[in-house]
Amino acid sequence: MNSPNNTTLEIDELNTWELRKRAQLINSLGGFKSVCLIGTQNKEHQTNLAIFNSVIHLGANPPLIGFIQRPDTAERHTLSNILETGYYTINHLNEQIYRQAHQTSARYPNEISEFDVTNLKPEYKNNFFAPFVAQSHVQIGVQFKERINIALNNTILMIGEIKMISFPNECLSSDGFLDIEKAQSITCSGLDSYHKTVRLSRLSYAKPDTTPHDID
Amino acid sequence: MNSPNNTTLEIDELNTWELRKRAQLINSLGGFKSVCLIGTQNKEHQTNLAIFNSVIHLGANPPLIGFIQRPDTAERHTLSNILETGYYTINHLNEQIYRQAHQTSARYPNEISEFDVTNLKPEYKNNFFAPFVAQSHVQIGVQFKERINIALNNTILMIGEIKMISFPNECLSSDGFLDIEKAQSITCSGLDSYHKTVRLSRLSYAKPDTTPHDID
């Protein structure tokens, strides 16, 4: 039995919805998402910066991180720069830069760098080839490893290995946990909704016959 | 130049860290994550419920959703039930159930259902084969579509197609956006940190030569 306050929709009914409205709903269902800026440059040092809400942790050993690239219908400067040079940066958003970050999703021609039009500053360090975002508090330097084509809908899972990281000193706990809320990282939902977070708690490793307790 | 308040780590340095500490840090880097309970049952109607922090939107048309399954070293009841029956549910966490949800990650034997030990209630509706979580406010019924093995670290990307959804009436906007914050869905970071959210804003579709404005 459904609660009278709940809507239950079968896919056949949803398929009758207008395409954009349906896309908004489906995009909301996956829950809160990582939202990051991916920085690249081509061999001629033309930089590019693009917002992605599909970054995903794949494993710690080796340290692998992935993101989903939409179907390759339009020009995809991030994809072509990564395939050409092998390096990119993943930069967390925060409350101070999320509007500029959102603006990078506008369709600028290849010769215009989103760094310039949004006043997000490229930052180069430790001889890493790709540009970081100076205003981002958690920055990750990544080397491209593998491209996996998802035939079901022509998206691409791009996988890279983490090569360097940068974060505020005071956000690292003694057990290795990085407090990204303290670093002011934000999250997003759906296609266009941005949220900051409030910690409920960290919970201890779960074992049968005990109840998890708060840590910190 | 790095700020004196920032730590920059190269991977070679990180590789000297103790394994669990390194895993904590790497798990924190991907940003805030979707955190959901996946409900399944086998053909003998033995139910299983497990928490996953790797659910990812893959596309709206067709409506595809994925999650990452860790390497298949231990028994993986979720994986085997999905492969055996073809159906599963994805249920958002909320503040009222996240402790019980976390507890499902303890290693219970196959004959024990996490529904029973955590008092999360299985809910069956619309003749969907797999059990939903009654206390979850956003519920998704999924049909298994494809298993993609990621050779780099022996993880698996499991892809399914959304077949039905259930959510509180008042959370659906006229443009199709589902307000999952209003539905009390939460997010997580790292291996064990749970967070509720506070909306900053929804931003309009980005176009060159304009600045995104707040919507709603």
B18-48 residue pLDDT tens? 999 999 999 999 999 999 999 999 999 999 9
Q: How far apart are CA A177 and CA B28, in angstroms?
A: 7
Q: How far apart are CA A135 and CA A138, in angstroms?
A: 9
* A5, part of any domain: no
Tell me what pLDDT residue A146 has: 98
Asked whether A38 and A85 are in contact (CB, 8 A), the reply is: no
- Which of B197, B198, B216 is the mutation pick for testing A, counting most A CBs within 10 A? B197
Region A34-49: mean pLDDT is: 96
A64-110 tens-digit pLDDT: 999 999 876 556 899 999 999 999 999 999 999 999 999 999 999 88
Report the C-alpha gap between A118 and A103 in whole angstroms. 7
Tell me: pLDDT of A1 over 50: no
Question: Residue length, chain B?
Answer: 216
Tokens representing B36?
Answer: 């959901």
Q: Is residue A3 assigned to a domain?
A: no
User: 10 Å Cβ neighbour count for A205?
Assistant: 13
- pLDDT per residue over B110-140, tens digit each? 889 999 999 999 999 999 999 999 999 999 9
Domain interval for residue A104: 21-215
* A195/B197 Cβ within 8 A: yes
Query: What total of structural domains would you count in chain A?
Result: 1
B24: chain A residues, CB-CB within 8 Å:
173, 175-178
Give the separation between CA A202 and CA A209, rounded to whole angstroms: 19
A56 has pLDDT over 50? yes
B132-177 pLDDT tens trace: 999 999 999 999 999 999 999 999 999 999 999 999 999 999 999 9
B51 to chain A, closest Cα gap in Å: 11
Task: Assess contact for A85 and A130: CB atoms under 8 A.
Answer: yes
Chain A residue numbers with beta carbons less than 8 Å from the beta carbon of B23 are 60-61, 176
Chain A closest-CA separation from residue B194 CA (Å): 5
Q: Average pLDDT in the A203-212 region?
A: 92
Q: Least CB-CB distance to A107: which of B181, B191, B208?
A: B208
The pLDDT value given to residue B1: 43
Tell me whether residues A9 and B166 touch, CB distance under 8 A: yes
Sequence letter at residue A147: R
Whether the Cβ atoms of residue A61 and residue A54 lie closer than 8 Å to each other: no
Lowest mean pLDDT among A124-138, A199-213, B171-185: A199-213
Note whether residue A16 is domain-resident.
no
Question: Is residue A62 packed enough to be buried (19+ CB in 10 Å), middle (13-18) or exposed (0-12)?
Answer: middle
Of A21, A150, A176, the CB nearest to B24: A176
Task: Give the DSSP letter string of A16-32.
Answer: TS-HHHHHHHHHHHT-S
- Nearest by CB to residue B5, choosing from A59, A169, A212, is A169
What pLDDT, on the 0 to 100 scale, is given for residue A3? 65
Question: Does residue A42 sit within a domain?
Answer: yes
- At B101, the pLDDT band (50, 70, 90 cuts) reads very high
The minimum CA-CA distance between A210 and chain B, rounded to whole Å, is 9
Mutate to test the interface with B, among A12, A18, A22, A25 (most CBs of B within 10 A): A25
Q: Measured between CA atoms, how close is A44 to chain B, in angstroms? A: 23
Which pLDDT band, with edges at 50, 70 and 90, does B75 fall under? low
ipTM score of complex: 0.95
Is residue A56 assigned to a domain? yes
Q: Determine the distance in angstroms separating the CA of B81 from the nearest CA of chain A, rounded to an integer.
A: 21
Question: How does pLDDT run across A159-185, given as a tens digit for each residue?
Answer: 999 999 999 999 999 999 999 999 999
Among candidates A26, A64, A138 on the partner chain, residue whose Cβ is nearest the Cβ of B63: A26
Judge contact between A212 and B102, C-beta under 8 A: yes
A6 lies in some domain: no
Angle at B134 between CA B129 and CA B135, to 5 degrees: 150
Is residue A2, in this structure, part of any structural domain at all? Answer: no
pLDDT of residue A145: 98
CATH of the domain at A93: 2.30.110.10
Please determine, for residue B105, whether its predicted confidence score (pLDDT) is greater than 60. Answer: yes
Q: Is B143 helix (H, G, I), strand (E, B) or coil?
A: strand
- The verdict on residue B7 lying in a domain is no
Instruction: Give the C-alpha separation, B85 to B103, whole Å.
Output: 25
